[in-house]
Amino acid sequence: MDKLTALKRYFGHTSFRPGQEQVIDALLDRRDALGVMPTGAGKSMCYQIPALLLPGVTLVVSPLISLMKDQVSALVQAGVAAAFINSSLSAAQYREVFRRAEAGRYKIIYVAPERLATGDFLRFAEQQPISLVAVDEAHCVSQWGQDFRPGYLKIVDFIERLSYRPTVGAFTATATADVKTDIARILKLCDPLTLTTGFDRANLYFEVVKPKSKPAYLWELLRQRRGKSGIIYCATRAGVERVCDDLRAHGVSATRYHAGLDDEERRANQDDFVYDRRRVMVATNAFGMGIDKSNVSFVIHYNMPKNLESYYQEAGRAGRDGAPADCILLFSTGDISTAKFLIQNADENEALTDEERETIQKRDLERLDRMVGYCRTGLCLRAYILAYFGEPHDGHCGNCGSCKSDFENLDITVDAQKILSCVSRVGKRYAYGLGVTLIIRMLHGSREQRILQLGLDTLPTYGILRGTDRRRIREIVDYLVDEDYLQVTEGEYPVLRLTDRSAGVLFHGETVAMPVRKPPAALKQERRAPGAAEQDLSAAQEDALLSALKALRAKLAQESGVPAYIVFSNITLEDMAAKRPRTMPEFLEVSGVGEVKAARYGEAFLRTISEYIEN
């Protein structure tokens, strides 16, 4: 059996995605490999195909129990002999997996990194022909990555204790140049093929919104996405509880996930989401790395994450099946303070020295600045992300909130002069300076106690922007900071200061223009093209068939005890609805239908298609 035969027989595809074949060929040639491929690009195929073709067994080191379970379920459904070894197994199950593994029953075994150092697993590994060790989520090995896990440092020790060295493959979705170097060094990869396929995922739509009311805006987003599955990320556990309760009160089928819940509830809530018993998961970043759910059609960040690596990884859990999906970030300036607090009060890693801890915190604050830049830019959001990861882009993707919005340059010179003058006068009276919030409240003419105590109401610039909405004042201040007319000092109590550039606006007639998004125009009535009615009817018929196929998939998934997407993905069902196969050979031509799944489910789907066509 060759690689293309294995790809079609087990996974139902006739060609590889970009980058997959090069990595597969390297591993089959017994050469180490480091693959950086975005979520949904098919990283798992890069080691699953070699595992089927190489002699002996492949070990896949994976960080989370849920990921192992999903991957093994999908492999077993495809006809691949696979198992996992982790703490979720009972003693009897544990012994049975080892018995079958020692008998050569499995081609792929998933294992947690902490399990590698145990005596029974080492004894097992030393007696088995291990051809390949695949390290999934390999960025977890790097202290400079966003998800460092000390257990990953045990991988090299494990490999070195074997009587011979197997080929090693390392895979991750997000890694900067520094993290890639770290992965190769720590895992001691030998002359690895290093391949980065690109971070762009064209099916994802990116947008940043600054709503007046996040709860109201979120509810509207979900109302527009009724029946679709999605994830809502919040920065804190309290935020998760609040948002989840609010959505349930509105009748949304939502559940929750965060580290404050006990293991049993987390597992039950996760299963409810994965098995489509709940359509929305509200969670902290503790949720998601191990989730292989392919039919997530939207990811909404209720708060801004701490860095772009985390944001892109979390947003990338949408649209894994290749279908169009939305990644929407609801931004407010308060998110910045929350993120800074989380960075400065992060759990201490005992493996780090004081100097390393200080360096990492400084790096994390720099990453936060880039994340804030993403939320504030009026330029192409996709280009901003790709530039961050060192990938060139033409600067206009056509599929993000910036590219699909109309922007105009608004002359804010007069308001800028008022703000800069206010900061100047405050600096002269109070050498220590004042923070952004107090400056904005002073400009707006607030009568709160702190303003009066400091005598800010006596300055000439007090209330000079009384008629301007505070949110707009904040936007202008943020823009002046971004454009280096103002700076926010570092330290525990940051204050607002003028820069050298501010003099041009205050004294030399320099104008300032800020790009702002135009309000959306009323939708125009589209002209109907000839034959449009027939096309609409055909599309409606295809949608009806697709609904019937999804209903059948849900029934079969329930009977098999697996998530619906493991039976067939949405993309496969859409191809099925378009091709309408009538025979088993035609059914095998549907993308994503392999021989084992065709034998298991083919007759039921063909019968549903036939009944639909005849009616």
The whole-number pLDDT of residue 532 equals: 44
The whole-number pLDDT of residue 40 equals: 67
- pLDDT-flagged residues of the chain (< 70): 40-41, 143-147, 289-292, 347-352, 518-542, 615
The per-residue pLDDT for range 526-543, each reduced to its tens digit, is 334 444 444 444 545 557
Closest CA relative to residue 572, chosen from 6, 74, 46: 74
Which of left, alpha, beta for 319 (phi over 0: left; psi -120 to 50: alpha)?
A: left
Contact 367, 309 (CB under 8 A): yes
Task: Give the C-alpha distances (Å, rounded to integers) separating 470 from 374, 446, 477.
Answer: 22, 10, 10
The whole-number pLDDT of residue 75 equals: 92
Contact 240, 257 (CB under 8 A): yes
- CATH topology for 3-196 is Rossmann fold (3.40.50)
Q: Which CATH superfamily is domain 204-406 in?
A: P-loop containing nucleotide triphosphate hydrolases (3.40.50.300)
Q: Which CATH superfamily is domain 547-614 in?
A: HRDC domain (1.10.150.80)
Please indicate whether the domains covering 3-196 and 204-406 agree at the CATH topology level.
yes
Closest CA relative to residue 48, chosen from 85, 67, 14, 23: 23
Instruction: Please give the angle made by the CA atoms of 212, 215 and 218, to the nearest 5 degrees.
Output: 95
The per-residue pLDDT for range 248-295, each reduced to its tens digit, is 998 999 999 998 999 889 889 988 998 889 999 999 988 876 566 878
- Rounded to whole angstroms, how far apart are CA atoms 605 and 48? 27
Q: What are phi and psi of 488, to 5 degrees?
A: -105, 120
What interhelical angle do 308-315 and 381-388 show, nearest 10?
120
Tokens of 7: 């790809």
Task: State the residue for tokens 């220590």.
Answer: 432
- Rounded to whole angstroms, how far apart are CA atoms 240 and 186? 36
The whole-number pLDDT of residue 523 equals: 34
Residues near 395 by beta carbon (within 8 Å), at least 6 away in sequence:
379, 380, 383
- CATH topology for 408-517 is Arc Repressor Mutant, subunit A (1.10.10)
Structural domain spans, the chain: 3-196, 204-406, 408-517, 547-614
**pTM (global) more than 0.75:** no
Q: Which string of DSSP letters, residue by residue, matches 154-198?
A: HHHHHHHHSSSPPEEEEEES---HHHHHHHHHHTT-SS-EEEE--
The whole-number pLDDT of residue 527 equals: 39
Closest CA relative to residue 462, chosen from 447, 483, 477: 447
The whole-number pLDDT of residue 341 equals: 87
